[in-house]
Chains A and B, each alone.
Chain A
Amino acid sequence: MIKIMLAIAISALASGSLAAQTESRATNTNRSQNATPTVTAPQARTDSSSVYDSQALRFETSWGSADVIRGAKGEVLGTVGWFRHFDVEKLVQSSPQAASAAREFRVANFRGSLVSTIGASLVAIGIAVATNNSNNASTPVLIIAGAGGIGWGLQKINSSYGALSRALWWGNRDLGR
């Protein structure tokens, strides 16, 4: 009797697994056929997909700043960038790796903004001094140091966006799938 029950259970398990695979394939086919930016809720949409559609984060840049955007509808949650602060760390706090990358972003972005601003100020002072008194020996030093500061700062800001991308990637990975 137990053997019969086990046989039934194993066959049911196998058919269940096959059914799950078939459903998964059908879902993927549906996704690729019906995926539209407006996301009009295809019938075979899985839970994980709808969570991703409504919760997954990305960012879009705009002249030195970046909007953090959630979901397929593109809800803007906040803007980060040149001395613009938005708490990305809090947004992705449920994922430890995402929170760590968000911290890295915050630090690098602040340092980059600060140093590039100081660099730009030095260049401006250097140019102003050069226009008023062209024989001043400090002008080339100011301009070169300023340009170096701008370069380092921009590089830092650039790498901070890499960290932001990583933070959102981890955050999207650890969404309730």
Chain B
Amino acid sequence: MRYRLHLTLILLAMASIPSRAAAQLDTSSYDANALRLESHFGDIRIIRGISGPVVASVGTFHKVELAKIVGTSENAAREAREFERNQRPGAIAALIGGIIVGTSIALSSRNDPTWGLVSAELVGVSLVFYGGVRLNRAYNALSRSLWWYNRDLKR
């Protein structure tokens, strides 16, 4: 009778071990590897884990190979490619558009308005708008990519 009790207790203890170990693995894997975003003076940083390293910085002049970073998850990599397709063209278009708008406004304040200046302003505003649309698409893909990557972490 005592032996049966021992056996039952041992089996119960065994049954609880894997689930506890799995739960610990869940959180520790997420804590160490899950990616998140932080903003830093206009740049966006991709950070690994609770206080982990900066994996990449996203900005106008930074080329980020996100698909490589999140390559272990198929869905994340697909969204990362969408991000890469849109981020750089969007940032460059918005920057050029901003420069054109700024220059044409500065020139038109000192000279009489001409068709050339008005056209430049319109082109500049259109470029800023186009860049904004592409950047918006890129950052939403970035958000989705990290979401999928964190989902597919080894849990």
Contacts and interface: CB of A to CB of B under 8 A. Distances in A.
Interface string B52-66: 000000000000000
Contacts of A16: 14, 17-18
B81 interface: no
A92 to B, nearest CB: 14
A165 B17 CA distance: 34
A9 B13 CA distance: 10
B116 interface: no
- The size class of the interface chain B forms with chain A is 35 or more
B106 interface: no
Given A49-B151, A58-B143, A173-B31, A37 B10 contact: no
Interface of B: 3, 6-7, 10-11, 14, 17-18, 21-23, 26-27, 30-31, 34, 36-42, 72-75, 132, 136, 139-140, 143-144, 146-148, 150-152, 154-155
Given A35-B75, A155-B42, A162-B40, 12 more contacts: A2-B6, A5-B3, A20-B18, A24-B154, A32-B74, A48-B26, A58-B144, A60-B139, A61-B136, A63-B132, A72-B151, A155-B41
15 contacts: A2-B3, A5-B10, A6-B10, A9-B11, A12-B11, A13-B17, A16-B14, A16-B17, A32-B73, A33-B74, A48-B26, A56-B147, A155-B41, A155-B42, A172-B150
